[in-house]
């Protein structure tokens, strides 16, 4: 599992030279979908315990709600991925003189970059 190893390395990068979030987007999407599914199933089960009609209405509501939840999660994570792609495209390359200027600036000292 090289992807999991990369995610772990990204989390343990205390110099903050790599973004950890882009490597975790699939994992975050899966976790959010699983959480939504668990919530929907729990809601339907609790509604069926009250009354069969209420359970059927909850089932219908859960289907619609889960679709909207999946849509929301997908759009939110795509926006996050686009932000990271923009940041990578805008950021200067390692060999650029602006990178050296940043490394020597007081802001870099406060952040703790080497």
Which band of pLDDT confidence, cut at 50, 70 and 90, is reported for residue 1? very low
Query: Is the model more confident about 100 or about 73?
Result: 73
Domain around 86: 21-94
16 falls within a domain:
no
Interior/surface letters 45-62, b for 16+ CB within 10 angstroms, e for the rest: eebeeeeeeebeebbeeb
26 falls within a domain:
yes
How many domains does the chain fold into?
1
Question: Does the pLDDT at position 58 exceed 70?
Answer: yes
Q: What is residue 21's predicted lDDT score, i.e. its pLDDT?
A: 77
33 falls within a domain:
yes
The token pair that represents 72 in the structure block = 């929301």
The pLDDT tens digits of the residues spanning 26-41 come to 999 999 999 999 999 9
The pLDDT tens digits of the residues spanning 73-98 come to 999 999 999 998 888 888 766 554 44
109 falls within a domain:
no
The token pair that represents 75 in the structure block = 């759009």
- Whole-model pTM: value is 0.67
What percent of the chain has a predicted confidence (pLDDT) above 90?
48
14 falls within a domain:
no
């Amino acid at each position: 599992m090289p992807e999991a190893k990369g995610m772990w390395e990204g989390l343990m990068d205390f110099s903050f030279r790599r973004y950890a979030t882009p490597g975790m987007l699939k994992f975050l999407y899966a976790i959010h979908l699983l959480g939504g599914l668990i919530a929907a199933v729990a809601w339907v089960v609790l509604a069926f315990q009250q009354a069969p009609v209420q359970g059927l209405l909850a089932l219908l509501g859960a289907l619609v709600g889960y679709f909207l939840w999946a849509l929301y999660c997908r759009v939110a994570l795509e926006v996050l991925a686009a932000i990271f792609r923009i940041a990578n495209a805008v950021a200067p390359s390692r060999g650029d003189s602006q990178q050296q200027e940043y490394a020597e600036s007081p802001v870099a000292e406060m952040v703790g970059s080497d």
